[in-house]
Chains A and B, each alone.
Chain A
């Protein structure tokens, strides 16, 4: 939406009365209305990657024998993440702060799925000097060799965008250097036992989601688990007719039948595909200007967790669609873009919900799929009272199996616009089975996020 349109809307809203705090936020969003949402370019190592390398990072194994660090296959040591989580829970019981970070997110790779991995990690804290505290604009110093004069420029590196700019993608800088395909633990594994998609209905049994079930359905001649008497008898009769051992139907004497080993037909245990209802998940996230900083991180973290759980639990068979919105919504093709797109612009929740409805209507998805919608926002909406959003939500609820709204509140705000109109609409009370809302503050930790998922999908 163009800036001038937004300006008009803002004026209109002002006439209807706006509290100053909201107005300020809207104005901030307006400022950034024309900034783009492109995911940040991958971090450049700069012309001199050795600049900040410590002398202590050199070691004989790497330097002399080219033996680089071997990533630690956590699975080798820990039967499951649960052991670690249990240890962490125990810490809290014993009165010490938790130490394990489960959701250390690793930037999902572009395109490919199944790349969302989460590493349990920890930190050992000590009293040490902080090398990073230095005057702004000063980048430290190191050694160098060459014939340049004092003051000569050796190279330049563009300054990376930081949080203060139009908005940074949440994945930025996190977990760089980790190999995504390495032996990191999949978080989905840990969440599997805890969650199941709610309200799964039988719809258009086209695909199987889960694994095989085993059943005695296949037959095998000669050996097997259970003798199939009827089939065996038929086989024996056939054999004997062929041998001429059964001259006429009147003179039937089973005692004279010749039985070849191959005639015995058995039932054997065999894997059967278990066809189950299929599901489609819409991830919807607000990437308007007000989402800068922690709230976006929270929302995407939660969506990454849900996404990785789906990947694990349903073997990638759950389809996902990704929708981003400010005042206009657009669908993006992969999780990477969804995850990394930068925030800017105003907010209109209805636009995204409308897009969901359009996509569903266009492909008649509701006939074949169980549809789930997860929406993450900071609760801000230019659409006061939800005049546009609520009808769209009603529409979604007519076909969706579950809609989950996550509101990550900025610290200091309470009772956001979205929360208010959702509450007023009475939907949350009337259809608790279909729609859930989870409100957390922007400094929620990972445990809280997982708690939130439980609330949304239990």
Chain B
């Protein structure tokens, strides 16, 4: 790996000036390296982080058949990584005009990394530095503990998708001035919601009631408020006293839960394992926002490379070359998805819509198709709007909020289905729907989504760790359950149970001929099962 030459660096600096002028914001420094195939071989298993810890699996062919991107929530071949300074990688034979385009694309990504709030937790430190010290910790442990270090890495990695990314993120946004007593927190957060199971309406009423107290009584509010509560819920105080003794446990972050609660890991001879778990956990959390903003991030970078490249005076004469490469990157596939194309179109669409004032409440209230079509308030605030979008949203919200019929109609988008024609024994690809809602749901369905697995601290028998998989319409990959649970059992030191749902295929009662019609829904039913891993033996029980 070597730095790009001075000539190319100058081009990059020129790109930075122009990108800043257009409103992007990013740190001054950046590092650009030329990478060879050999470098890539070493970098790609380490997700392009040159200083990532060593692990033997990095050196073997890894089978990634099922759900590759669920298993590896990070892109092994990113061009730019979210470090301080950001590091980006280039082929050594790119012509200058292509570099200009790639630089703009990279700057788009850097702007996104440094301004999108889902990356908030990565802003304060340089991940390569962190990774380097982690790597040293692991190397040192490996010298002492040998292969056991690799087992712990393996077990930790097998649950590194079950980390509380959002719980890590949310405290960063809590206003420091907001200070409430633990009694108040307990009353609103736990007592009303968990114990009393209040409806949302009643809950909001209760909050309003408290706010009235604050408005009327100021400092005294809380005391008088709880004086009333004691009358209303005489049991409240007892509940509160009982709960204050109990340490709050994170229930959706399995790795952290193990670090904090596993008796096995707490033993003196095993404490070293905790640092490995923590390394794996932090690495995973670092990469989480990346996969949750794939469409936005690529769309944003493509939007800007298109816009800025065409304005750049240095590349005159290469418009056709650019058009060819750019079209290759951002053309909508006839069938299939392309995050660059979809994201970029959505940003352009939003900019135009906001320019005309079509993102406003007034517009959304319009029901007349003709009026909607011709609506143009001439706001000209499109760019501001998309800058806000890039700051505040992730892929899920981006797609959910903004894919509408106007968008899918404009770009002629539809949902492609694939079904079996049993008579002719062919798979048919067909236009399943042109409805924007269906298109949106299809898109949302392709997004990264780790299973929602919660720890139930009450349910486990004989100290067993009880995991509940909240079923969301997809079952877990069955072949993986056994080995994953072996790892969790090792780290927990006691048996592990996993409650989940599994598909039961029932034969159709009547044979279909021809394409299945929409109404005849699946012969598939779900049943709840519990897996128990005890002393490395897996048993399965239907609930």
B-binding residues in A (CB < 8 A): 46-48, 50-51, 53-67, 69-70, 72-74, 76-78, 84, 87, 90, 94-97, 99-101, 104, 119-159, 184
Whether A128 contacts B61 in the complex (CB less than 8 A), given A139-B417, A142-B416, A151-B431, comes out as no
B466 within 8 A of A: no
A71 to chain B minimum Cβ distance, whole angstroms, is 8
Q: Does B207 contact A (CB under 8 A)?
A: no
Give chain A residues whose Cβ lies under 8 Å from the Cβ of B329.
Answer: 63-64
Residues of B in contact with A (beta carbons under 8 Å apart)? 37, 40-41, 44-45, 56-57, 59-64, 66-71, 75-80, 89-91, 94, 101-102, 105, 109, 147, 151, 154, 157-162, 291, 294-295, 298, 325, 328-329, 332-340, 342, 411-422, 425-434, 439, 442-443, 446-451, 453, 469, 472, 474-484, 486, 498, 503, 505, 512, 516, 521-524, 536
**Shortest beta-carbon distance, B163 to chain A, in Å?**
12
Would you call A97 and B483 a contact (CB within 8 A)?
yes
Name, among A64, A73, A138, the residue most crowded by chain B CB atoms within 10 Å (CB to CB): A64
A96 touches which one: B40, B44, B451, B486 (CB < 8 A)? Answer: B486
Q: Is the CB of B418 within 8 A of A139?
A: yes
**A124, B62: Cβ atoms closer than 8 Å:** yes
Q: List 6 A-B contacts (CB under 8 A).
A: A51-B429, A55-B446, A134-B522, A137-B419, A141-B415, A156-B428
What residue of chain B has the Cβ atom nearest to residue A48's Cβ? B335
Q: What is the bound-complex CA distance between A73 and B482, given in angstroms?
A: 30
Find out whether the CB atom of A145 lies under 8 angstroms from the CB atom of B474.
no
Contacts of B61 in A (CB 8 A): 72, 74, 104, 119-122, 184
Q: Total number of A-B contacts with CB less than 8 angstroms?
A: 318
Whether the pair B69, A137 counts as a contact (CB closer than 8 A) is no
Task: Tell which of A90, A134, A145 has the most Cβ of chain B within 10 Å.
Answer: A145
- Pick the contact of A129 from B57, B67, B512 — CB < 8 Å? B67
CB distance from B387 to the nearest CB of A (A): 22
- In this complex, the member of A55, A72, A158, A184 whose beta carbon has the largest number of chain B beta carbons within 10 angstroms is A55
Bound-complex Cα distance A96 to B535 (A): 11
Question: In the complex, which residues of chain A have a beta carbon less than 8 angstroms from the beta carbon of B451?
Answer: 127-129
Cα-based distance from A159 to B422 in the complex (angstroms): 9
A87 to B487, CA, bound (A): 17
Are A72 and B295 interface neighbours, CB within 8 A? no
Q: Is the CB of B434 within 8 A of A150?
A: yes
Pairwise interchain contact A137-B420, C-beta atoms closer than 8 A: yes
Residue numbers in B under 8 Å from A153 (CB-CB)? 428-430
Check if A70 sits within 8 Å of B336, measured CB to CB: no
The reply to whether A127 and B484 contact each other, CB–CB distance below 8 Å, is yes
Partner of A70, one of B40, B295, B415: B40
Q: Which residue of B lies closest to A65 (CB)?
A: B91
Beta-carbon contact of B429 and A155 below 8 Å: yes
Within the assembled complex, what's the spacing in Å between the Cα atoms of A66 and B95? Answer: 13
Interface class of chain B by DSSP: mixed
Are A46 and B62 in touch, CB under 8 angstroms? no
Residues A129 and B158 in contact in the complex (CB < 8 Å), given A63-B329, A64-B329, A78-B59: no
Contact A159 B420 (CB under 8 A): yes
Instruction: Report how far A179 CA is from B448 CA in the complex, Å.
Output: 29
Partner of B413, one of A51, A145, A159: A145
What chain B residues lie within 8 Å of A142 (beta carbons)?
Answer: 335-337, 415-416, 442, 446
Q: Shortest beta-carbon distance, A54 to chain B, in Å?
A: 5
**Interface contact A130-B453, CB-CB below 8 Å:** no
Known: A67-B77, A150-B433, A154-B430. A120 touches B334 (CB 8 A): no
Task: Determine if B429 and A148 form an interchain contact, defined as CB atoms under 8 angstroms apart.
Answer: no
Do A158 and B426 touch across chains, with their CB atoms under 8 A apart?
A: yes
CB-defined contacts of A67 to chain B, threshold 8 Å: 40, 77, 91
CB distance from B495 to the nearest CB of A (A): 15
Tell whether, in the assembled complex, residue B427 and residue A56 are in contact, meaning their CB atoms are under 8 Å apart: no
In the complex, the answer to whether A143 meets B67 with C-beta atoms within 8 Å is no
Q: Which residues on A sit within 8 Å (CB–CB) of B159?
A: 126-127
A interface: dominant SS: loop
In the assembled complex, the Cα of A122 lies from the Cα of B56 at a distance in Å of 11
With contacts A56-B69, A142-B336 known, what are 13 further pairs, Cβ within 8 A? A54-B68, A56-B75, A56-B294, A63-B340, A69-B77, A70-B37, A72-B59, A122-B60, A128-B70, A137-B420, A138-B522, A143-B439, A156-B426
CA distance A145 to B147 in the complex (A): 52
Bound state CA distance, A242 and B314, in angstroms? 83
Q: In this complex, what residue of A is CB-closest to B474?
A: A129
Contact in complex: A69, B44 (CB < 8 Å): yes
A29 to chain B, nearest CB (A): 24
Instruction: Enumerate chain B residues within 8 angstroms of A73, measured Cβ to Cβ.
Output: 41
Assess A53 versus B337: contact at CB under 8 Å? Given A59-B78, A124-B157.
yes
Which of B71, B415, B416 neighbours the largest number of chain A CB atoms within 10 Å of its CB?
A: B416
Cβ distance B397 to chain A, nearest Cβ, rounded Å: 16
Q: Determine the distance from Cα of A84 to Cα of B63 in the docked complex, in whole angstroms.
A: 16
Query: Which chain B residues lie closer than 8 Å to A147 at the CB level?
Result: 412
The answer to whether B524 and A146 touch across the interface, beta carbons within 8 angstroms, is: no
Whether A70 touches B337, Cβ cut-off 8 Å, given contacts A47-B429, A55-B295, is no
Q: Are A60 and B416 in contact (CB under 8 A)?
A: no
The 3 closest A-B pairs by CB, nearest first: A50-B336, A139-B418, A135-B522
Q: Give Cα A104 to B429, complex, Å.
A: 32
Q: A145-B414, A153-B430 are in contact. Are A124 and B71 (CB under 8 A)?
A: yes
Nearest A-chain residue to B65, judged by Cβ: A123
In whole angstroms, how far apart are the Cα atoms of A382 and B425 in the complex?
A: 34
Q: A58-B298, A133-B475, A145-B333 are in contact. Are A159 and B446 (CB under 8 A)?
A: no
Chain A residue nearest in CB terms to B39:
A70
Give every chain B residue within 8 A of A133 (Cβ-Cβ): 474-475, 503, 524
A130–B486 CB distance below 8 A:
no
Query: B412 touches which one: A57, A123, A146, A155 (CB < 8 A)?
Result: A146
Query: Within the assembled complex, what's the spacing in Å between the Cα atoms of A59 and B477?
Result: 26
Q: A56-B69, A64-B79, A125-B158 are in contact. Are A143 and B442 (CB under 8 A)?
A: yes
- With A and B bound together, what is the CA distance between A77 and B45 in angstroms? 13
The reply to whether A148 and B427 contact each other, CB–CB distance below 8 Å, is no
Could you tell me if A123 and B62 are in contact, using CB atoms closer than 8 angstroms?
Answer: yes
Contact partner of A128 among B41, B56, B67, B334, CB < 8 A? B67
Task: Name B450's contact: one of A99, A101, A128, A151 (CB within 8 Å).
Answer: A128
Known contacts: A56-B69, A87-B56. The answer to whether A130 contacts B475 by CB under 8 A is yes
A87–B147 touching, CB < 8 Å:
yes
Distance to closest chain A CB from B346 (angstroms):
12
Residues of B within 8 A of A124 (CB): 57, 62, 71, 154, 157-158
Closest Cβ of chain B: how far from A361's Cβ, in Å? 45
Residues of B within 8 A of A151 (CB): 430-431
A125:B483 contact, CB within 8 angstroms:
yes
| Residues of chain B within 8 A of A139, CB atoms compared | 417-420, 427
With A65-B94, A122-B57, A142-B336: A129-B101 Cβ-Cβ less than 8 Å: no
Q: Which residues of A contact B80 (CB under 8 A)?
A: 60
Give A100 to B300 CA distance when docked, in angstroms.
Answer: 41
Which of A48, A51, A54, A129 lies in contact with B475, CB distance below 8 A? A129
Q: Chain B nearest CB: distance from A383 CB in Å? A: 36
CA distance A153 to B430 in the complex (A): 4
Point out the residues of chain A lying under 8 angstroms from B77, CB to CB: 59-62, 67, 69
Also in contact, A127 and B427, with CB within 8 A (given A64-B105, A145-B334) = no
Q: Are B476 and A128 in contact, with the CB atoms below 8 A?
A: yes
A130 to B45: give the CA distance in the assembly, Å: 23
Q: Of all chain A residues, which has the CB nearest B94?
A: A65
Which B residue's beta carbon lies closest to that of A131? B67
Verify B480–A128 contact, CB threshold 8 A: yes
**Inside 8 A of B332's CB, which chain A residues have their CB?**
143, 145
Assess the A129–B476 pair: CB atoms within 8 A: yes
Task: Name the residue in B56, B425, B432, B453 with the highest tally of chain A Cβ atoms < 10 Å from its Cβ.
Answer: B56
